[in-house]
Structure 1
Amino acid sequence: MNLLPRSLRSQITAAVVLLVTVVVALAGLIIVARIDHRDRTDVDRQLAGRAEKVRQDADKLLKQGDHGGGDEGRDDYGGLLVGSQSLVRLISDGQITAQRGETPPFPLPVPERDGYATVAADGQTWRSLTRPLNSAGDRLEVLQDIDSIERRLADNTAIVAAVTLLAALTTAAGVWLITRLLLHPLQRLRTGAQAISADATGPGLPTLARPQEVADLSHALNAMLDQLRTSMEATRRFTADAGHELRTPLTTLGMTLETLQRNPNLSQPQRHRALEAMNAEHHRITTLLTGLQALARGDSRALPDRTPVDLTALLAEAVTHAARRHPPVTYRLTPADPVTVQGWAAGLRLAVDNLLDNAALHGRPDGTVDIRLTHDRGTVRIAVSDNGPGIPPDQRQAMKERFTRGARSRAPGSGLGLALVEQQAHLHHGTLHLGESPSGGLRAILALARASEHVPHAPGSGGPPSV
């Protein structure tokens, strides 16, 4: 069974009240114990002094015999025992032979051994000191009524209990009010969290400045919320884009399959053309899904840690593979010194491959693509130029959008190539610039920051290098 209260406010209050109660109670009991010890030590010291003084006049006490304290209020010991609530007894062979002082109304037991002892009888408490009197075996006992000390101990203990209770109640009330103020920022966070919906444009958690721990928590939660919303928006966008773009090729595939099923006696050339059309649509769907997945990963910022990437080697390998994919096209890579950037090799390779494929598909069928790698101070530039029709200046910015194709383009494609390059440029804190090549075609420049000048930080923060 869990005895802890559920709310943090109640737990803090209970913990502080328990601590204060223990501290106050222990401090009070220590003080009471010290006072009681001092009182009892004083009584023992008085008993020792009184026993020494009575011992000197023991013969006189024996001659007077057994007398009570009510003998006209006189005492032959100079007033030592009058009104002092004390008693002196002489003991011989286990019998009381004489006593003087405040005789109690009830008999007190005879001590069995010498030394200090506490005697309780009929609700009254006495402190006793017994010492040998002579060589004959007689003993002297001096007693003092300590009921007043017992009452003082009980009263002090009651005071400590009352103070402890009052301190606990006062602490509980104070901590309850203080924690209400201290936990108010957390209450604001809770209220803000309850108002959050799945809408990517909805409000976030309130931004708090104090206390520092809660402020750090609010910043961390808002950052996490932004990442979740970005991922959710990327998923929604991926679903919408995929549904929109896959509708046409899937419809074409369905119609072709239906045609083949209804016409089993199609001639071999017709069947061959239908299968080629289906194969082309399948390739289009596969390419489209691959591009959409890459865009979705970039949108959700599901990225690994940055590492140094040898851009010169990456570019040379990409050009080699592009030449195999597009045999009629001539790729010319201008040699360059080794250049390293901070980033993701897979993302940079994706961007370079799309630039090379875009130049081959939208340039001349047997044209030439020039690739040049340059750098100056902190910026690295990859320039890919073709000798095709190019893109009019008023359409260049729009061509970076997803599923956008040029009006004069007749080459197959999904319209995602430049969008993928633009996304990778943004994720690497760079830029993509579209211009005109010297031969009149398109010149695409991907600008990135060099590794020696770049300080890795979160995607999307900071500014890109200038082109």
Structure 2
Amino acid sequence: MKLAPRSLRSQITAALALLVTVVVALAGLVIVARIDHRERSDVDRQLAARAEKVQQDADKLLDQGDHQEGDDGQDDYGGLLTGSQSLVRLISNGQVVAERGESLPFPLPVPERDGYAMIQGDGQTWRSLTQPLNNTGDRVEVLQDIDDLQRRRSDNIAIVAAVTFIAAVVTAAGTWLITRFLFHPLQRLRTGALAVSADVTGPALPAVDRPQEVADLSHALNTMLDQLRTSMEATRRFTADAGHELRTPLTTLGMTLETLQRNPDLPEPQRTRALEAMQAEHQRLTRLLTGLQALARGDAHALPERTAVDLSALVTEAAHHATRRHTSVTYRLAPASPVTIQGWSTGLRLAIDNLLDNAALHGRPDGVVDIQLSRHSGLARITVSDDGPGIPPDQRHTMKERFARGSRTHAPGSGLGLSLVEQQARLHYGSLHLGQSPSGGLQAVISLPAEPGPGTGQHD
């Protein structure tokens, strides 16, 4: 709606003013209705008392006939009705036979039935009570002018309206001033947010101590901002490293192509070596782009739904294919019982393949790679050990970073293998541990939460 206030301060002010208006108006009208009901009940009781009095003095009223006031303003009926803004009538056979009291400025009809009734005429309102008279067939009607009661009710309603208006204005003004004070911390956050930039060294949002909700919001926003800046810094570093890694094979490919183009009569052995080098660089680029794509999907959590994965079958299949890729390396897979986890078979297979390729590339040329799948304390552990130079303890944590290369290795690679393994382990709520194998090489252990096996209960 175009008329609705846009700012939160205006919305709160309008809402509270409306709420107070409704509450005060309803409360005032209820009070007015109660007062009016009580006064009307008093009038009805007075009419009933007068009707009873008339029934007791009915003979006297009949003897005196119509009312004739004397000079002193009194009548022979004892002055009961004179000046009291009331009227008494005796009705027999549908005709008024006697009446005492005020003279009405409009014709008063004979009541058709007994009981209470409202009579209006010439701007006046009267309350009427008609009752049978002493089982004679005659009736008595007692009337009372209630214009004063009507005016009091109108005055009370006017007072309620005035009080409601004043309460709404005071509430709106007070709420507007109070919210200005209460929203000051939010205004500080807004000012700080406008100063935030993409610069990772930019200022943080101002810290707010109270109220507690705004303080929690400030803390949450600063935490989110720190995470975004950390992610942005990692993305910038990752992009720079990726560009650097891509530049080398692309430059090599370009130089080789230029060599082949300038030397169309290059001897066959040299041409063959050039084509093999280009093929190797192409494979390096393919592996690098595949790794980057896998890392990007993991960072974005673009993951399918979790399913049950048989690790035993997955590790067996990965070891079989690794033997085909690295024919000079011996892969020894230890027998293992079936182990099932919840996860993504594609991501787990990518992690296992990277460990097996890493062991083949960084182990001895004709070395041995030991593969073991075990289960302990509710965790499934995939252990891959090689017989290469290994990684010094002070470099093991760094080697999990992207594009990290060890100081002892000269094997080709993109430097993404272990970072891919750690990412998949983390996405499966597990971890990657790097240590030393029994033969002195690298031992990589992936620990993942496993489902309870047959006969194991909840714990192994």
**Cα drift, residue 129 of structure 1:** 4.6
**Cα drift, residue 284 of structure 1:** 1.3
**Cα drift, residue 101 of structure 1:** 3.2
* Alignment partners' CA distance in 1, 2:260 and 2:290: 28
* Alignment partners' CA distance in 2, 1:133 and 1:398: 113
Determine if contact 1:69/1:103 at 8 Å carries over to the other structure: no
**Cα drift, residue 286 of structure 1:** 0.8
* Alignment partners' CA distance in 2, 1:392 and 1:50: 115
* Alignment partners' CA distance in 2, 1:233 and 1:343: 29
Q: Percent identity?
A: 73
The alignment of Structure 1 onto Structure 2 pairs a total of residues equal to 449
Determine if contact 2:17/2:172 at 8 Å carries over to the other structure: yes
2:85 maps to which residue?
85
Determine if contact 1:20/1:167 at 8 Å carries over to the other structure: yes
Asked if 1:276 corresponds to 2:272, the answer is no
**Cα drift, residue 246 of structure 1:** 1.0
**Cα drift, residue 72 of structure 1:** 1.1
Question: Of 106, 109, 125, which aligns to 1:108?
Answer: 106
* Alignment partners' CA distance in 2, 1:369 and 1:134: 123
**Cα drift, residue 253 of structure 1:** 2.0
1:26 maps to which residue?
26
Q: Provide Cα deviations, 1:396-433, integer angstroms capped at 9, x if missing partner.
A: 56544443445564432223333434544555543432
**Cα drift, residue 109 of structure 1:** 0.9
Q: Provide Cα deviations, 1:97-144, integer angstroms capped at 9, x if missing partner.
A: 76543446xx33131434555444554443345678899998765433
Alignment of 1:364-379 (within 5 A): 364-373=364-373, 377=377
Determine if contact 2:387/2:442 at 8 Å carries over to the other structure: no
Asked if 1:430 corresponds to 2:427, the answer is no
* Alignment partners' CA distance in 2, 1:378 and 1:98: 107
Alignment of 1:381-460 (within 5 A): 381-390=381-390, 399-406=399-406, 409-424=409-424, 428-435=429-436, 437-438=438-439, 442-448=441-447, 450-451=449-450
Determine if contact 1:117/1:127 at 8 Å carries over to the other structure: yes
Alignment of 1:34-433 (within 5 A): 34-54=34-54, 61=61, 64=64, 66-69=66-69, 71-88=71-88, 99-103=99-103, 107-114=105-112, 115=114, 116-129=116-129, 142-173=142-173, 175-176=175-176, 190-191=190-191, 193-200=193-200, 232-300=232-300, 309-340=309-340, 344-373=344-373, 377=377, 381-390=381-390, 399-406=399-406, 409-424=409-424, 428-433=429-434
**Secondary structure in 2 aligned to 1:445?**
strand
* Alignment partners' CA distance in 1, 2:304 and 2:207: 29
What amino acid is the match of 1:6? R
**Cα drift, residue 233 of structure 1:** 4.5
Determine if contact 1:298/1:423 at 8 Å carries over to the other structure: yes
Which deviates further from its counterpart, 133-142 or 377-386? 133-142
* Alignment partners' CA distance in 2, 1:304 and 1:203: 38
* Alignment partners' CA distance in 1, 2:368 and 2:101: 132
**Cα drift, residue 244 of structure 1:** 1.0
What amino acid is the match of 2:143? L
**Cα drift, residue 337 of structure 1:** 3.8
What amino acid is the match of 1:451? A
1:457 maps to which residue?
none
**Secondary structure in 2 aligned to 1:365?**
coil
Q: Provide Cα deviations, 1:248-286, integer angstroms capped at 9, x if missing partner.
A: 221222233334444445455554443333222211111
* Alignment partners' CA distance in 1, 2:59 and 2:398: 129
* Alignment partners' CA distance in 2, 1:60 and 1:71: 21
Determine if contact 1:425/1:446 at 8 Å carries over to the other structure: no
What amino acid is the match of 1:353? D
**Cα drift, residue 77 of structure 1:** 1.7
* Alignment partners' CA distance in 1, 2:62 and 2:391: 137
Return closer, same or farther for 1:91/1:260 CA change in 2, 3 Å cut-off: same
Determine if contact 2:74/2:82 at 8 Å carries over to the other structure: yes
* Alignment partners' CA distance in 1, 2:358 and 2:20: 75
Determine if contact 2:425/2:448 at 8 Å carries over to the other structure: no
**Cα drift, residue 80 of structure 1:** 1.1
**Cα drift, residue 157 of structure 1:** 1.9
Determine if contact 1:311/1:339 at 8 Å carries over to the other structure: yes
Return closer, same or farther for 1:163/1:370 CA change in 2, 3 Å cut-off: same
Return closer, same or farther for 1:65/1:224 CA change in 2, 3 Å cut-off: same
What amino acid is the match of 1:435? Q
* Alignment partners' CA distance in 1, 2:244 and 2:323: 32
Return closer, same or farther for 1:201/1:371 CA change in 2, 3 Å cut-off: farther
**Cα drift, residue 92 of structure 1:** 8.7
**Secondary structure in 2 aligned to 1:20?**
helix
* Alignment partners' CA distance in 2, 1:52 and 1:398: 108
Return closer, same or farther for 1:354/1:49 CA change in 2, 3 Å cut-off: closer
1:460 maps to which residue?
none
Query: Gaps spanning 5+ residues in structure 1: where?
Result: 454-467
Return closer, same or farther for 1:49/1:385 CA change in 2, 3 Å cut-off: closer
**Secondary structure in 2 aligned to 1:433?**
strand
Return closer, same or farther for 1:68/1:167 CA change in 2, 3 Å cut-off: farther
**Secondary structure in 1 aligned to 2:143?**
strand
1:464 maps to which residue?
none
**Cα drift, residue 247 of structure 1:** 1.1
Return closer, same or farther for 1:37/1:351 CA change in 2, 3 Å cut-off: closer
* Alignment partners' CA distance in 2, 1:137 and 1:342: 97
Asked if 1:12 corresponds to 2:8, the answer is no
Question: Given the two structures, how large is their TM-score scaled by the length of structure 2?
Answer: 0.77
* Alignment partners' CA distance in 2, 1:250 and 1:89: 120
* Alignment partners' CA distance in 2, 1:215 and 1:306: 37
What amino acid is the match of 2:349? R
What amino acid is the match of 2:330? T
